[in-house]
Amino acid sequence: MSEQGYDPRTGKPVGEPVESTSDSGVDAVASAAAAAFEAWSARSAAERAAVLEQVADALDAESELLVATADGETALGVPRLTTELKRTTDQLRLFGEVLREGSFAEATIDSPNPDTVPPRPDLRRVLRPLGTVAVFSASNFPFAFSVAGGDTASALAAGCPVVVKAHPSHPGTSRETGRVVTAALRAAGAPEGLFGVVHGTEAGVALVRHPAVRAVGFTGSTAGGRALFDLANSRPDPIPFYGELGSVNPTVVLPGAAAHTPDEVATGFAGSLVLGVGQFCTSPGLLFAPASLLEPLAAAVSGAAGGPMLNERMSGAYRSGVDELAASGLVTPAATGSKPEGGYGVEPRLFSVPIGVFAENTEKLTEEHFGPAAIVVTYTEVDELLAVLPTLPGSLTATVHSSPGEHAVAGRVAEVLRHVAGRLIFNGWPTGVAVAWGTHHGGPWPSTTNPLHTSVGATSIRRWLAPVTYQSWPEDLLPAELRDANPLGVPRRRDGVLGTA
């Protein structure tokens, strides 16, 4: 069997098909990765940083080919893909900074104290890499969440080998990106087998089951992620599964913001909704607003254009999902935008529902419709809003739009929403996730399988590390981060005090 790329603008095949990986092929790649683990994890943080930066340079050097290939398979456009590839290489460089800074290791030292009860021995704790990580590429980000994306970058930075399961929507892009990364790692002197790519649905299942794999990173649908999550936990030796799944990303517009800046809010919402044809994990699919805002929202969405979705299955699922929603009798169609002819093109859709009806049908009306569709929930009193918000499913983001005089109310809303989402946005829009130290891209189920962790930003490295405590070991046998002299100069906590001592 093989995976064939298709041009979403036309629905026609593009590029050469890529052969699916057999079970024996998965075994060979995963075993080679496991064999590379000892040598790679023994490299110093600074050495791993230099390798990641060489990979970033290699990807930048082949940007023209990579972007053209991805555009043919995703129709996301050269400007968007050029920016996304730059984000991808910046992620690799960020982890170079993370490695050199050193606090990711969470080095901790407790000096012996015979006077405590029980007596305390010399205890030194540090985070160490888990082993081979399986990474599942996302459909909607062929670079930043795929072969060389954030999961791969953070796992390699942690000292873990990586095996990527390529996404079938962009097999050619995955093959070319994998070629560049493999060549760059080899040129940088990384261990052979440190990185590999497999193709095909069955290859993904075999990868999660493989005994050499010690953790999994996934970005995709709730159904697919849940199936793999269950598989990872049903192994004889269950392993961590970090999945980013579905998210409706609620937005609350308070009465003052609706009254004072209606056109600004409506235009911003429509722009965020249709960005990337709504194929962002942070697309604002649910908006709570006074009824007075419905008219400008509808006008903005009516004037917005859709586009081709990433593949035929997604396009079909979007159409059937919004048609079913429209026929449910629960919502009122509010606006329909335009769409291109042919291929996998879809149009933006906007629906409305009173908050009372929404409250009685929350489960049905909070299903994610991946694409440029949203529901406006109209409310009158803030108190009825505060009663409904805690019932929302977990999301990656939640947003509040407030006028200057409503900050007290905005704070009350935020206090509720912090239990629902991992990132709270004020007077902005959720699409676009900064790659930074302070980023948290996670949230309660079903947005992720573990709300403690992020798949974007510096702390995403924490997923691929586990603590080890060294009790009463001699200095020369300790990891460098735990030696008294602190030869790496990393931040660490000694006897409860954070510093570099």
Residues 76-104 pLDDT 10s: 999 999 999 999 999 999 999 999 999 99
Homologous superfamily, domain 24-102+120-245+450-465: Aldehyde Dehydrogenase; Chain A, domain 1 (3.40.605.10)
CA separation for the pair 250, 279 (Å, rounded): 16
**CA–CA dist 346, 370 (Å, integer):** 11
What are the angstrom distances between the C-alpha of 288 and each of 48, 298, 427? 46, 14, 14
CATH level 3 topology of 250-426? Aldehyde Dehydrogenase; Chain A, domain 2 (3.40.309)
pLDDT band at 501 (very low <50, low <70, confident <90, very high): confident
C-beta of residue 59 within 8 angstroms of C-beta of residue 66: yes
Active-site residue set: 244, 281
**pLDDT digit string (tens) for 351-395?**
999 999 999 999 999 999 999 999 999 999 999 999 999 999 999
Long-range contacts, stretch 64-71, CB < 8 angstroms, 24+ apart? 65/176, 66/143, 66/173, 66/176, 66/177, 66/180, 69/15, 69/172, 69/173, 69/176, 70/142, 70/143, 70/170, 70/173
Q: Residues 280-305: what's their mean pLDDT?
A: 97
Which of 185, 26, 45 minimizes the C-alpha distance to 465? 45
In angstroms, the Cα distances linking 432 to 141, 242, 490 are: 12, 21, 32
The C-alpha atoms of residue 185 and residue 194 are separated, in whole angstroms, by 8
pTM value is 0.96
Domain edges within the chain = 24-102+120-245+450-465, 250-426
Tell me the residue type at 379.
Y
Q: Which residue has the tokens 């930048």?
A: 60
Average pLDDT score over residue span 472-480: 97
DSSP class of residue 428 equals: S
